[in-house]
Amino acid sequence: MARLSVNINKVALLRNSRGSNLPDLVQVAKDCEAFGAEGITVHPRPDQRHIRYDDVPMLLPIVTTEFNIEGNPDPAFMKLVLDNAPHQCTLVPDTDDQLTSDHGWDTIANASRLKEIIAALHEKNIRVSMFVDPDPKMVEGAKMTGADRIELYTGPYAHDYKMGREKAIAPYKLAAKLAGEMGLGVNAGHDLNLDNLRYFKDECPELVEVSIGHALISDALYFGLSNTIKMYLRLLS
């Protein structure tokens, strides 16, 4: 069974829109775990439009499952992660003004830099996941950098799913299989939802963990947070 990590960025975005502490991000994280989530993910960005840097030290001591911090490893981000030492750090090649993640690393062109970053994270016993497109060369490059896992960027899969799920999943099946053969754990994330998640999980048995935020929080508006988390867990079981 792949684990479900709930990305709570959208909860922070709602909180920030009114300048108060409603909803209470820490309480939501606790509730997500109480409802069955097996991890909490945050993705702080330089403009801090949702998760703020000062949210991380408040979340760290209350997350009892797995705490995953993802983002672009600029100096400020690296200091945040190294100072707080989450269970996992997912490296994502975002630009400062990027609305959402939309591509994986070129693990070959950035190999030297990524090796140094990963070595620093490993010194703090932080597991490292590398955000990549389902390209065998990028998967191989991730292995060479020293990453422990890859996170497959599933935006194209979600976009193409209704036009032909067999074609949409094909490159992911190959990438996941290659990663498994190379000893890399396989995570996945971006636009996975109640419609397309089970098929992805069934077709990629190497899958260890999914990180889902936008779709899950949107579904919770209709079904409630507890029910929604249970619905996603059933798809992964």
Query: In terms of C-beta density within 10 A (0-12 exposed, 13-18 middle, 19 or more buried), how is residue 165 classed?
Result: middle
Catalytic residue among 70, 151, 206, 209: 70
Catalytic residue among 33, 66, 190, 209: 190
d(CA 108, CA 145): 9
CB 12 within 8 A of CB 26: no
d(CA 34, CA 21): 20
If you ran DSSP here, which 8-state letter would residue 163 be given? Answer: G
* Exposure string for 139-155, b = 16+ CB within 10 A, e = fewer: bebbbebbbbbbbbbbb
Catalytic residue among 43, 66, 151, 209: 43
Q: Which two three-digit tokens encode residue 37?
A: 């989530």
> Would residue 43 show up in a list of annotated catalytic residues for this protein?
yes
> Would residue 70 show up in a list of annotated catalytic residues for this protein?
yes
Residues annotated catalytic, as ranges: 43, 70, 190
